[in-house]
Amino acid sequence: MHDSLAGNYRLFYREVAGFIPGQRLFSDPFRSLAYGTDASFYRLVPKIVILVKTPEEMSHILNAAGHFKVPVTFRAAGTSLSGQAVTDSVLLVISGGWKNFAIHDNGERITLEPGVIGAMANTYLSPHNRKIGPDPASINSCMIGGIAANNSSGMCCGTAQNSYNTVEGMKIIFCDGSVLDTLDPGSRLQFPGSHKDLLDEIGRIRDEINSDGILKQRICNKYRIKNTTGYSLNSFVDYSDPIDIILHLMVGSEGTLGFIAEITYTTVPEHTHKASALVIFPDMENACKAAIILKGGPSSAVELMDRASLRSVENREGMPSYLRSLEQESAALLIETRADNPVSLRRQMDEIRDSLQALPTVRPVSFTALKEEYERLWDIRRGLFPAVGGARKIGTTVIIEDVAFPIDKLASAALE
């Protein structure tokens, strides 16, 4: 234990040292500094770092933290750009383990521990032609714990297939160390006996929201579009059972309500045939009009990029050469469509092309179904954040939070 620890932190450290080996519990400046950063541009140096390997350890740690009133922060892969995995208090890092999974009903459901990398979950499901709904850009490195806790969505899942809408159940460890398994009838029956006050308060908030027609409608409107700012208040409208409300509040709570020790997702189809097109428009207004048209069609993903975004990647290896010659006002939509067979895929490509005929485009709408080619197109989108961030002026930073608008307001919002 480092000499700088004092007060409750010292007491907490001594308590935890009774069941966590010394090589997984430290507070020295050198190692603490190393854990002071995640993928964001924030830095907070934790006073104590604990590498946690089992749910039982996590339960004991949270119980001790609650007893000594010591704040804790969870970290899985630490790939988020918003700083959820840094702290100047106690950092709990899931380490080793946490990688168990179970596939149910021929891949229609999957149970995952929080240390499973998102892409590995999809690898496990691939023999069943299924995948998890969330599709964050960092899926090859981020872990399920962060995907669920941040309600990560990504380029293709939108809101219909995010964690909130595809979660079936969780094992949750609360601040007192207690565990709720929302898929276990016995756990659901026992929980009200030990946490009556919590469930009563959840029920009171539910009733207050649902008795206020204006407030209820406002919540419904806010969550029709992508909205991951704050807690998922739509839980109180979408569900009546307090335990189901808690389950969905956990999604997007960023580790502030409890620890997700296990999650079960309803999976979604992984279509074997895909095609993509990068459609260039003369200006942002026409690109936004196209996005509105495509909303009701067979597009599985539509990404909007302005000229500045395209300029930031136009000189990267493998990028289409025509990007360098675009006019200043140009904008683009990166479109993907998916199907179960080649015939359906061709029909969907034709439908998308036909739907855009009334709008001016800089180049003809051209799809590619070759994996190497459409992956190169999506590399444009995947590379935008580091490219734009690298092009900023020294001394400035990047606003990385999502801004969401109803799609019918997209053009006016983008042009402001």
Q: Which of 235, 253, 268 is the last residue of a domain?
A: 268
Residues 249 and 125 in one domain: yes
Q: Could you tell me the two tokens for 260?
A: 């997700």
- Residue by residue, DSSP assigns 284-298 as HHHHHHHHHHHTTTT
Residues 214 and 166 in one domain: yes
Q: Which of 268, 302, 326 is the last residue of a domain?
A: 268
Task: Note whether residue 370 is domain-resident.
Answer: yes
- Residue by residue, DSSP assigns 218-233 as HHHHHTTS---SSS-T
Residues 360 and 289 in one domain: yes
Query: What does the angle CA 221 – CA 219 – CA 289 come to, to the nearest 5 degrees?
Result: 20
Residues 298 and 161 in one domain: no
CATH of the domain at 40: 3.30.43.10
Calculate the average pLDDT of the chain.
91
Residues 381 and 315 in one domain: yes
141-178 residue pLDDT tens? 999 999 999 998 776 656 778 999 999 999 999 999 99
Statement: residue 261 has pLDDT above 80: yes
pLDDT reported for residue 47? 96
Phi, psi of 158, deg, nearest 5? 55, -140
Q: Which of 36, 70, 94 is the last residue of a domain?
A: 94
Percent above pLDDT 90 for the chain: 70
Per-residue confidence band for 385, with pLDDT thresholds at 50, 70 and 90? low
Residues 284 and 258 in one domain: no
319-353 residue pLDDT tens? 888 889 999 999 999 999 999 999 999 999 999 99
Residues 287 and 410 in one domain: yes
pTM: 0.88
User: Strand, coil or helix: what is 278?
Assistant: strand
CATH of the domain at 357: 3.30.70.2190
Domain count, the chain: 3
67-80 residue pLDDT tens? 999 999 999 999 88
Task: Note whether residue 2 is domain-resident.
Answer: no
pLDDT reported for residue 155? 62
Residues 291 and 342 in one domain: yes
Phi, psi of 160, deg, nearest 5? -70, -30
- How deeply is 105 buried, as exposed, middle or buried, from its count of CB atoms within 10 A (0-12, 13-18, 19+)? exposed
List CB contacts of 83: < 8 A, sequence separation 6 or more. 38, 40, 41, 42
Look up the domain containing 237 and give its range: 101-268
In the block, residue with structure tokens 């709570």: 253
Residues 263 and 302 in one domain: no
Q: Could you tell me the two tokens for 183?
A: 């898929």
List CB contacts of 25: < 8 A, sequence separation 6 or more. 13, 16, 17, 48, 49, 50, 51
Amino acid identity, position 259:
F
Residues 295 and 219 in one domain: no
Residues 250 and 290 in one domain: no
pLDDT reported for residue 160? 78
Q: Burial code of 380-415, b = ≥16 C-beta within 10 A, e = fewer?
A: bbebbeebbeeeeeeeeeeeeeeeeeeeeebbeebe
- How deeply is 42 buried, as exposed, middle or buried, from its count of CB atoms within 10 A (0-12, 13-18, 19+)? middle
- CA 265 from centroid of its chain's CA atoms: 14
Residues 116 and 184 in one domain: yes
- How deeply is 343 buried, as exposed, middle or buried, from its count of CB atoms within 10 A (0-12, 13-18, 19+)? exposed
Task: Note whether residue 197 is domain-resident.
Answer: yes
- Computed on alpha carbons and rounded to an integer, the radius of gyration of the chain in Å comes to 23
CATH of the domain at 118: 3.30.465.10
